[in-house]
Structure 1
Amino acid sequence: MDMPHTSRRHLLRLGAAAVPLAALGPVLPAASARAVAAGNLYMPAETDRHLRTYMAWPALSSVWGDGLGAVRRDIAEVAHAISRFEPVVVLARPSQAAEARYQCGRGASYAIEVLEIPNDDLWIRDFGPTFLVGPGTVAGLDTNFNGWGKAGTTFEQPYANDAAAAASLLYEYGVRRLRAPFVGEGGSLEADGDGTLMVTVSSLVNDNRNPGLSQERLGELMKGSLGVDKVIWVPGLAGQDITDCHIDCLARFTAPGRVILDKPGPRADPKWVAVYEETKRVLESATDARGRRLAITELPGPDTRETTGGGKEFLASYTNYYTANGGVVAPRFGDSYADGVAYAILQAAYPGHRVVQVPIDGIASGGGGIHCATQSHPAPPPAA
């Protein structure tokens, strides 16, 4: 029997560790998950209609230091921007929920709800569930978040609460939970909703996540568990950022057969320029699951001499944007020329959407962006 909604909330306030595994809702083992996904579930395009957007309130000064306040203000502003288009749910530790409600609750259009689920950081794209859809149904794939495999490195940070959040969130909304047969993050998976997935080799074929699994085997596991027919692999670059070069900072589908490619701006580190050049070569010769050649639009980054933020980890990428119901929420970095070019390119790529740019210097200083800080809960397609 399903538990009452209020009881679920009470359990979540205690933390995922206090909730019996069986109480977190039905969980399909890996083999069953693959079979279900191959049958009628698939990873949708982000442009498909959403029920809501999930975000997370950054919790730890040990991670963000003196920048924690600025990062929280950025999260609130991004939540406000998305709320112009759809409801927003922000996960927060119970002890921090009141502050999150205060900062996020002012000036919203659609509702912004703060949900008391313990977390560690804001990167819900990576530790939250990756949603799958089928006729009349939605399921959530838990990709076994392990802190990007950074234990014992300079990138290591606490992630125990984040690792449990996907199960808690799916339980809260009564969504069936599947366990992925691989370790990864939502930011490492870019789907067109029509059978094609883009990923980087560096973030998945990596012993810090999937030791002993070959690229070929991982491709088969992702096809089965994400309901896709083809995986386009680009090399990426391991060990240079916390994600090992996620695809969502590099290349995004705007529609089946159409890709936006991040082009590093002036003064970009040569290693990231090389990643862009290699990615472009791969995509120019690739075809998608339906045999289409990819139409590529380059999205140039800003000149970091002109940006209002900076630092060693600063992610100066417009490509890490988020699509909501009728909206595109993208960063603004303070380089007025580059900001304007990005706005025009994104508006042309999403003609049925309204582009809204938000300054995110705090978030970007941690090596991420708006897409990293969001996760969409898709609406179920019509039942067959």
Structure 2
Amino acid sequence: MNQPILDTVTAETTPRAQGFAMPAEFAPHDACWMLWPQRPDTWRYGAKPAQQAFAEVACAIAESETVFVGVNDDQYENARNQLPAHIRVVELSSNDAWMRDMGPTFLTHPDGRLAMVDWVFNAWGGLKGGLYFPWDKDKRIRTKIAEMLGIPRFEAPVVLEGGAIHVDGEGTLLTTEECLLNPNRNPGMSRDEMEQVLGDTLGIDKVIWLPRGCHLDETDGHVDNLCCFVAPGQVALTWCDDDADPQAAISREALAVLEAATDARGRPLTVHKLPQPGPLYIAEDEASGLDRLNSSHPRQPGDRMAGSYVNFYIGNSVVVMPFLDPAHDEAAWGILQGLFPDKQVVGVPAREILLGGGNIHCITQQQPKAPRA
């Protein structure tokens, strides 16, 4: 059903005022959206190793729901031949492949309608610490998907990436001050002002602010690499026991906030700790094969990567998690399988994705199933 595209939002026309809200990731999906990697200053060796990793993620999710992969025209034939026929390849140009952040945040309505939020995107900081320039193609992705699906698109007045937020579908949102209140995103904006925008746009009632994201996360502290909802009242948190590792203090700090918090319905939170992989560092051979451009984030041998098992995707019948460290993969898999007993937890080798700066949650975006009218 085609619906009008909404380009301006007033107090009376906010998504919340119209009855829309963002559902939890663990709610039912109609589809998952991804993008195809090809950027030569992000992905080594012409992105061929990354393309293989992305294809494995797409195939794992496609066991659970329809998967759309957006591809630049010059990579369309390559992607179509690498991906199985049941994965839908569509021409959707981008500057890079992080669909969680440049793609839409979907909303649902109790009457069965679907809509999306079009946040302002500035490549994780714009000209003050952003990861590349330009990002003109990325900014058009949400508009294009809205046109493809024939759904309303609400333009939001703040810079925000999808990886910066996680919701429980019952009125609670997780985020970090490091990201959403960063001067390179929304300078001068207060917590109260941001909470008002989040409430009006996503239909949430309470924001739980964690101070920081994972150590050296180049997204300026996206919450989806540190902590996420796995069910109402339950969160997974990346954990480090080594006091000499800067991540240990970040995780303890987050735990203190979470244990003192209640959700929008007044429930205390149960925190499930996921061990941190590594620490993981870029090897000499992994830093080779990249184009070196002044307009993009440098990736050097010895740089620490912000690896995290929390960066997984919750599908209808599967949970797709990154395998990053043989010393911890099995333990992390076991914890997640215990948290999702009704789903199959699938581990995908994901170091190539991490080398680009993110992981499985970062390259995916769920399209929720709208409730029946």
Q: Which amino acid in the other structure matches residue 148 of structure 1?
A: W
Taking a change above 3 Å as real, the CA distance of residues 130 and 154 of structure 1, as seen in their structure-2 partners, is closer
Aligned to 2:263: 288
User: Is residue 314–residue 366 contact of structure 1 (8 Å, CA) maintained in 2?
Assistant: no
Aligned to 1:248: 224
Aligned to 1:161: 137
Taking a change above 3 Å as real, the CA distance of residues 236 and 36 of structure 1, as seen in their structure-2 partners, is same
Taking a change above 3 Å as real, the CA distance of residues 269 and 165 of structure 1, as seen in their structure-2 partners, is farther
Q: Secondary structure at the match of 2:158?
A: coil
Whole-angstrom CA distance in 2 between matches of 1:26 and 1:37:
16
Q: Which amino acid in the other structure matches residue 99 of structure 1?
A: N
1:356 to 2:320 alignment: no
Q: 1:99 aligns with which of 42, 53, 78?
A: 78
Whole-angstrom CA distance in 2 between matches of 1:258 and 1:93:
38
Q: Secondary structure at the match of 2:114?
A: strand
User: 5+ unaligned residues in a row in structure 1: which ranges?
Assistant: 3-23
For residues 65-119 of structure 1, the C-alpha deviation after alignment (integer angstroms, 9 at most, x for no partner) is: 436211111111100111111110001101111111111126xxxx201110111
Q: Which amino acid in the other structure matches residue 49 of structure 1?
A: P
Q: Which amino acid in the other structure matches residue 201 of structure 2?
A: S
Whole-angstrom CA distance in 2 between matches of 1:33 and 1:164:
26
Show the 5 A alignment for 1:6-155.
26-31=5-10, 35-66=14-45, 68-105=47-84, 111-135=86-110, 136-153=112-129, 155=131
How many residues of Structure 1 are paired with residues of Structure 2 in the alignment?
Answer: 356
Show the 5 A alignment for 1:235-274.
235-236=211-212, 240-264=216-240, 270-274=245-249
- Following superposition, the deviation at residue 54 of structure 1 comes to 0.3
Taking a change above 3 Å as real, the CA distance of residues 173 and 32 of structure 1, as seen in their structure-2 partners, is farther
Q: 2:274 aligns with which of 292, 295, 299?
A: 299
For residues 17-64 of structure 1, the C-alpha deviation after alignment (integer angstroms, 9 at most, x for no partner) is: xxxxxxx95124232586332441111011111111000001311332
1:180 to 2:156 alignment: yes
Q: Which amino acid in the other structure matches residue 247 of structure 1?
A: V
Q: 1:199 aligns with which of 175, 191, 203?
A: 175
Q: Which amino acid in the other structure matches residue 306 of structure 2?
A: L
Q: Which amino acid in the other structure matches residue 319 of structure 1?
A: V
Q: Which amino acid in the other structure matches residue 59 of structure 2?
A: H
User: Is residue 191–residue 253 contact of structure 1 (8 Å, CA) maintained in 2?
Assistant: yes
User: Is residue 15–residue 21 contact of structure 2 (8 Å, CA) maintained in 1?
Assistant: no
For residues 128-186 of structure 1, the C-alpha deviation after alignment (integer angstroms, 9 at most, x for no partner) is: 00001111111010111111114253733432111111111111111211111211010
Q: Higher helix fraction: Structure 1 or Structure 2?
A: 1
User: Is residue 307–residue 333 contact of structure 1 (8 Å, CA) maintained in 2?
Assistant: no
- Following superposition, the deviation at residue 316 of structure 1 comes to 2.0
Aligned to 1:13: none
User: Is residue 201–residue 235 contact of structure 1 (8 Å, CA) maintained in 2?
Assistant: yes
Q: Secondary structure at the match of 1:371?
A: helix
What is the TM-score when the length of structure 2 is the normalising length?
Answer: 0.89
> Cα RMSD over matched residues?
2.5
What is the TM-score when the length of structure 1 is the normalising length?
Answer: 0.86
Taking a change above 3 Å as real, the CA distance of residues 172 and 154 of structure 1, as seen in their structure-2 partners, is closer
Whole-angstrom CA distance in 1 between matches of 2:317 and 2:183:
39
For residues 168-222 of structure 1, the C-alpha deviation after alignment (integer angstroms, 9 at most, x for no partner) is: 1111111211111211010001000000000101111122111221111101110
Q: Which amino acid in the other structure matches residue 54 of structure 2?
A: I
User: Is residue 315–residue 366 contact of structure 1 (8 Å, CA) maintained in 2?
Assistant: no
Taking a change above 3 Å as real, the CA distance of residues 271 and 328 of structure 1, as seen in their structure-2 partners, is same
Whole-angstrom CA distance in 1 between matches of 2:132 and 2:106:
27
1:376 to 2:350 alignment: no
Taking a change above 3 Å as real, the CA distance of residues 34 and 353 of structure 1, as seen in their structure-2 partners, is farther
Q: Secondary structure at the match of 1:182?
A: strand
Q: After TM superposition, where is structure 1 displaced by more than 6 Å over at least 4 residues in a row?
A: 305-310
1:317 to 2:308 alignment: yes
User: 5+ unaligned residues in a row in structure 2: which ranges?
Assistant: 287-300
- Following superposition, the deviation at residue 313 of structure 1 comes to 4.9
Q: Which amino acid in the other structure matches residue 21 of structure 2?
A: Y
Whole-angstrom CA distance in 2 between matches of 1:59 and 1:142:
24
1:330 to 2:321 alignment: yes
Aligned to 1:226: 202
Whole-angstrom CA distance in 1 between matches of 2:12 and 2:213:
30
Q: Which amino acid in the other structure matches residue 203 of structure 2?
A: G
Whole-angstrom CA distance in 2 between matches of 1:371 and 1:73:
17
Query: After the TM superposition, which of the residue ranges 223-232 and 96-105 deviates more from structure 2?
Result: 96-105
Q: Which amino acid in the other structure matches residue 257 of structure 1?
A: G
Q: Secondary structure at the match of 1:64?
A: coil
